[in-house]
Amino acid sequence: MLDKGACLRYYKNSYVADLLLSFSKDREVSVRYGEAFGKRPDMLRYPSDVLEFAKQNVTSFHVSEEHWHDPFMLSNTRGRAQLDKLRSGWDLILDVDCNHFEISKLCTHLIIEFLRFHKVKHVFVKFSGNKGFHVAVPWTSFPRVVGEALTSDMFPEYPRAIASFVSDHVYKALSDQLIKQHGLAGIREIVGDILIEGGRVKVEDFIDIDTILLASRHLYRMPYSLHEKSGLISLPIPCDMVLKFERSMAHPEKFIEPLASYLEPGDGDATELLRSSIDYVAKKPREVKKFKRSFEVKDPVPEDCFPPCIKSILQGINDGKKRALFAVTTFLAEVGWSSEMIESLVNEWNAKNPTPLRDAYVQGQLRAFNTSKRTPKCKNEGYYLALDVCKPDSLCRTIGTPSQYAVQRMRRKQA
């Protein structure tokens, strides 16, 4: 865990402050106070801002994937057309996350190889600060126009297409590598039960190349920021160093100077990657996936078995109600609630909100809802942490999603 004294000593380093300030240019910034995020939008204007934030107990700094003409013009009420006018570009950020660090490293290495195979020269990677990596390609590596579409306007569609293209190919390569290195029995020893489908390991069941968070104004941990859980630096590293990287290398007391740059300007070298991704997604069959759970629910899980975060949301919240609605509906579907039961509880919840969502919006979301959508994971910082409802108890530390918590709680109750 992050020690407050170590946090302040690290951010007092003027070199660190300069690095954070330099990277924040033209990007939206948000700070985090332990488990709660600060106001948005925000920016860093001077190196001294970093120290001032640290004195206010800020633990980490987060930054947008998008570049903006003026980040202070952003607000939660702006629509798509307004955001497109404000956006000057976007970086591709692929977030690789897995509870097994060696698999995270191998997956990251394969992503880098795949991007290089598609002639992308400007590929950058940083350790996330905990269990994964952020692989990045700068905005300047992409063409400004594809067909009649301005690339800057095609967020999140274009980066989502690239993520789909990359992940589909890398997951297959990762499965092949793991089988070659460990065999099926060895993989089971590392990750537990695995699913074999079509002759390959379904590695996506235990590792994420994150595409869910590719939404406008999504933030990720800034290079050289600390991580609350590990106390380590989100450290840029050379691409060729990934397989040899150890988490201890990112200890703040060891930081002297950068090991590598991050998101230096490109020269249009990702044009082939983008065009191939758009073509791949256009030809990819659209499957209506049946909802799958990692557990079976015979009866609806009662409310007294809900996790602290869901209980807190259901009491009514001020901000983030649209995200909360998504989290609650997907959670209830996963724990066996019928559509009628979900609608009734959602309407009851909305009435408790200090400023309720419009009924038309809620009903529209309920009609459009489908059970192929998954409940956001606990580690998804855009949901429970950002909503300030993540107040974990002892059971929370053993699960990955609110629905897993509810099922385990119900089973313990019934035992």
CA distances to 175, 178, 186, 228 from 181, in Å: 10, 5, 8, 33
As a whole number of angstroms, the distance between CA 148 and CA 188 comes to 48
Tell me the DSSP string of 125-151. EEE-SSS-EEEEE-GGGS-SEETTEEG
C-alpha–C-alpha distance, residues 87 and 99, integer Å: 34
pLDDT tier for residue 339 given thresholds of 50, 70 and 90: confident
Among 391, 414, 413, CA closest to 402: 391
pLDDT confidence of residue 307: 94
Cα–Cα distance for residue pair 283/278, rounded to 1 Å: 9
Poorest-confidence range of 83-92, 98-107, 260-269, 279-288?
A: 279-288
pLDDT surpassing 60 at residue 289: no
- The Cα 70–Cα 83 span in angstroms is 11
Task: Enter the pTM of the model.
Answer: 0.73
pLDDT at 213 over 80: no
Q: Where are the domains of the chain?
A: 4-283, 303-414
Give the confidence band of 291 by pLDDT, cuts at 50, 70, 90. Answer: very low
CATH superfamily of 4-283: DNA primase, PRIM domain (3.90.920.10)
Which distant-in-sequence residues (6+ apart) come within 8 Å of 364 by Cβ? none
Flag whether pLDDT at 171 surpasses 60: yes
Q: For residues 267 and 21, is the Cβ–Cβ distance under 8 A?
A: no
- Residue 264 has a pLDDT of 95
Structure token digits, residue 191: 């990750």
User: What is the structure's pLDDT at 371?
Assistant: 61
Q: Answer whether residue 362 shows pLDDT above 60.
A: yes
Q: Specify the pLDDT at position 286.
A: 59
CA distance readout (Å), 23 to 47, 54, 62, 66, 264: 11, 18, 11, 12, 10
For residues 279-292, average pLDDT: 68
Structure confidence at residue 294 as a pLDDT band (50, 70, 90) = very low
- C-alpha 58/C-alpha 31 separation (Å) is 6
**The one-letter amino acid at 403:** S
pLDDT tens for each residue of 121-159: 999 999 999 999 999 999 999 999 999 899 999 998 899
- The sign one gets for the Cα dihedral 95, 96, 101, 106 is negative
Three-state SS at 91: coil
**Tokens coding 298:** 């015979």
Alpha-helical (H) ranges within 255-320 are: 271-283, 308-314
Q: Where are the alpha helices (DSSP H) in 206-335?
A: 271-283, 308-314, 321-334
Sign of the CA dihedral running 324, 325, 326, 331:
positive
Most confident segment among 18-32, 210-224, 378-392 = 18-32
State how far the Cα of 397 lies from the Cα of 385, in Å rounded to an integer.
Answer: 15
* Residue from 386, 388, 45, 60 nearest 218 by CA: 386
Write the DSSP symbol of residue 354. S
pLDDT(63) > 80: yes
